[in-house]
């Protein structure tokens, strides 16, 4: 009899604990309902506009019969900078189709990792070919996936010289930057922190300067100046004859950076350069306009 009483008391005690725990669990939910109801705010009046929408896009006017004019074709045998000309204006280039004429080894490819990139990223740390080749005065200049520059005859593709801008005893990854050639001089912006000028015929260094950060755009040469950007959102203008820094500008710092910045466009004393968070329109000595990129 005493055993039955003890069992009954135990069951009642268990039921009481379950009821208490259930009530405790429900209390915050009820309190939450009260809190949300009391904190409700009136819906704002007016029309909501999606600021991220691209809209309906461009609309074609069916009544516009303006004729389209295409400029005459031009033949091009030289491409000295990214964009061919400093203003990056396009032309109607003569086009005869694609026909393979030759194939040439230009050095390290994307499957051959740079030492530091491999150490940091393993098999994913492959090299990158940052910039297209440039051509002038019967010579073609290329930068391989580890920043080594080579010169070939054009169009025969006979190897002329090789120049490795990496300093001795340096193990920094050399990925980034690019090339330009002007007046028998090759201008190199590398992925370590250097800008240099070498003789186009021999590869001999004319001058070298340190930027303090890896280059992230190919240089544009115009009006005796060399323009380029670096990974830390800075923009440089150097004297093309000496490498002396003429001026520099620091753009707004952003969380993400652009690995391959476009080569700056230069025309009539105005420079247009892109960064991770803005497009800059600069005069020769100051910023004219700053536009955020969304």
pLDDT: which is higher, 256 or 148: 148
Give the whole-angstrom CA distance, residue 77 versus residue 174. 30
Give the whole-angstrom CA distance, residue 88 versus residue 80. 12
pLDDT averaged over every residue in the chain: 78
Out of 48-62, 184-198, 246-260, the most confident range is 184-198
Give the whole-angstrom CA distance, residue 24 versus residue 29. 9
- State the Cα torsion 48-53-58-61 to the nearest 10°: -20
| First-to-last C-alpha distance (Å) of the chain | 81
Domain segments of the chain as ranges: 115-292
pLDDT: which is higher, 76 or 197: 197
At the topology level, CATH places domain 115-292 in Methylamine Dehydrogenase; Chain H (2.130.10)
Q: Which of 146, 141, 150 is nearest to 112 (CA)?
A: 146
Query: Residue 59: pLDDT band by 50, 70, 90 thresholds?
Result: confident
Q: In 10 A of CB 245, how many CB atoms?
A: 13
Instruction: Confirm whether pTM is higher than 0.85.
Output: no
Name which of 9-18, 70-79, 119-128, 154-163 the model is least confident about. Answer: 9-18
What is the per-residue pLDDT across 202-227, written as a single tens digit (0 to 9) for each? 999 999 999 988 888 999 999 999 99
pLDDT: which is higher, 130 or 164: 164
Encode 185-219: b = buried (16+ Cβ within 10 Å), e = exposed: bbbbbbbbbbbbbbebeebeeebebebebbbbbbb
The pLDDT value given to residue 39: 61
Give the whole-angstrom CA distance, residue 157 versus residue 279. 38
């Amino acid at each position: 009899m005493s055993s039955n009483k003890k069992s009954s008391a135990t069951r009642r005690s268990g039921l009481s604990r379950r009821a208490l725990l259930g009530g405790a669990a429900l209390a915050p939910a009820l309190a939450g309902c009260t809190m949300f109801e009391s904190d409700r705010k009136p819906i704002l009046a007016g029309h909501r506009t999606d600021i991220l929408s691209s809209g309906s896009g461009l609309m074609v006017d069916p009544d516009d019969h303006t004729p389209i004019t295409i400029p005459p074709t031009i033949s091009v045998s030289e491409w000295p900078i990214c964009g061919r000309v400093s203003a990056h204006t396009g032309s109607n280039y003569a086009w005869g189709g694609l026909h393979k004429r030759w194939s040439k080894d230009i050095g390290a490819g994307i499957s051959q990792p740079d030492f530091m990139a491999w150490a940091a990223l393993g098999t994913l740390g492959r090299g990158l070919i940052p910039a297209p080749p440039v051509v002038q005065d019967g010579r073609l200049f290329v930068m391989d996936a580890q920043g080594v520059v080579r010169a070939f005859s054009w169009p025969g593709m006979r190897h002329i010289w090789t120049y490795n801008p990496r300093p001795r005893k340096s193990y920094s990854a050399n990925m980034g930057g690019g090339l330009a050639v002007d007046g028998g001089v090759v201008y190199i912006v590398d992925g370590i922190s250097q800008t240099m000028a070498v003789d186009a015929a021999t590869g001999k260094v004319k001058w070298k300067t340190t930027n303090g950060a890896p280059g992230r755009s190919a240089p544009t040469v115009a009006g005796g100046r060399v323009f380029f950007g670096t990974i830390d959102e800075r923009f440089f203008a150097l004297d093309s004859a000496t490498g002396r820094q003429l001026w520099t500008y620091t753009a707004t710092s952003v969380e993400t950076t652009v690995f391959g910045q476009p080569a700056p466009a230069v025309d009539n004393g105005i420079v247009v350069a892109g960064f991770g968070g803005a497009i800059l329109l600069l005069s020769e000595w100051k910023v004219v306009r700053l536009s955020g990129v969304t």
